[in-house]
Amino acid sequence: MAVNIEVPLSGGAVSEGVVRVGETVRRPLRAHSPAVHGLLRHLEDVGFEAPRVLGVDELGREVLSWVPGEVPQRPLAASVVSEDVLRGVARLLRRYHDAVASYEAPAGAPWDAETSNVDGAPEVIGHCDVTPENVVFRGGRPVALIDFDLARPTTRVFDVVTALRHWGPIEDPADRDAGLYGVDVGRRLRIFCDAYGLDRERRREVLPAARVRFERSYRAMRERAERGGGWARIWQGGAGPRIRRAQDWLEWHWDELDARLW
């Protein structure tokens, strides 16, 4: 008889009750799970690598496929913060957007509605959480996205900004991983936008979108934290002041970053 050992997964430290069982991942079902499942099925149909929906288990949890490979751990290794990987993440996000552009989500699909967004007509179902912990690597290269919990209709630029928040990073140096402490963020933003293929006009939207996103995500996170759970833990760990420091850093470096974007 096969023994199904449950291994807790805590990469992102937000979701509680995420476990690995063999070649599957079990996660609590949420109100937005049906919308995410539709998206994951579309990605499977068009051949973009992401977890596959395998069903619901006897405990009422969603069953997703385990994506083979490595997910970065903290502190991030030098190889993960290299410019080659940065280009790879940008191309992966571009491939994701191109793969999802053809997806007609059902009207009224219950996407996560509590997180921040930018204004502007939605263009794609963004991943909206492209942290290092949500990218799977093989042979040192980023090959797949996981954790579509925050996916929702948004603009391509908003999704680029959510990725750059972590991969630039748009962050106060004091809060960065050691490997990103002294990097030239302006150069990295440019590399990312070039590899993504973001055209000149749209690059003008990147810093303003980052500014709006910071303020809205501060408020959204504070509201979520009031309800307890993983977000409360993150908030108590200092997420609020960290966003405030990142905002200040962005404002101080705005002109310099702006000049480097194209």
Ligand X SMILES: Nc1ncnc2c1ncn2[C@@H]1O[C@H](COP(=O)(O)OP(=O)(O)O)[C@@H](O)[C@H]1O
Give the interface with ligand X as residue ranges (CB under 6 A).
Answer: 9, 11-15, 18, 25, 51, 64, 66-67, 71, 133-134, 136, 146-147, 149
Q: Which value, to the nearest 10 degrees, does the dihedral of the CA atoms of residues 245, 243, 248, 252 take?
A: 100
Rounded Cα distance, 247 and 243, in Å: 6
- Centre a 10 Å sphere on the Cβ of residue 65 and count the other Cβ atoms it contains: 16
Which positions from 30 through 59 interact with Mg ion, judged by CB under 5 A?
Answer: none
Residue 195 interacts with which of Mg ion, ligand X, none, CB < 5 to 8 Å by class: none
Quickly tell me which residue has 């996916």 as its tokens: 151
The smaller minimum CB distance to ligand X, of residues 149 and 205, is found at 149
Rounded Cα distance, 98 and 246, in Å: 30
Q: Does 162 bind Mg ion (CB under 5 A)?
A: no
Q: Where are the alpha helices (DSSP H) in 142-205?
A: 156-167, 185-196, 200-203
Helix, coil or strand: residue 207 = helix
CB of 211: closest distance to ligand X in angstroms? Answer: 25
CB of 260: closest distance to ligand X in angstroms? Answer: 30
Q: Does 117 bind Mg ion (CB under 5 A)?
A: no
- Residue 15 amino acid letter: S
Residue 51 interacts with which of ligand X, Mg ion, none, CB < 5 to 8 Å by class: ligand X
CB of 132: closest distance to Mg ion in angstroms? Answer: 10
Q: Which of 24, 116, 117, 134 binds Mg ion (CB under 5 A)?
A: 134
The smaller minimum CB distance to ligand X, of residues 64 and 93, is found at 64
Q: What are phi and psi for residue 181, nearest 5 degrees?
A: -55, -50
Q: Which of 147, 159, 171, 205 binds Mg ion (CB under 5 A)?
A: 147
- Residue 103 amino acid letter: Y
Q: Does 12 bind Mg ion (CB under 5 A)?
A: yes
CB of 94: closest distance to ligand X in angstroms? Answer: 21
CB of 15: closest distance to Mg ion in angstroms? Answer: 7
The number of CA neighbours under 13 Å toward the Cβ of 74 is: 14
Take residue 93 and report the two structure tokens written for it. 């996000």
Contacting residues toward Mg ion, per CB under 5 A: 12, 133-134, 147
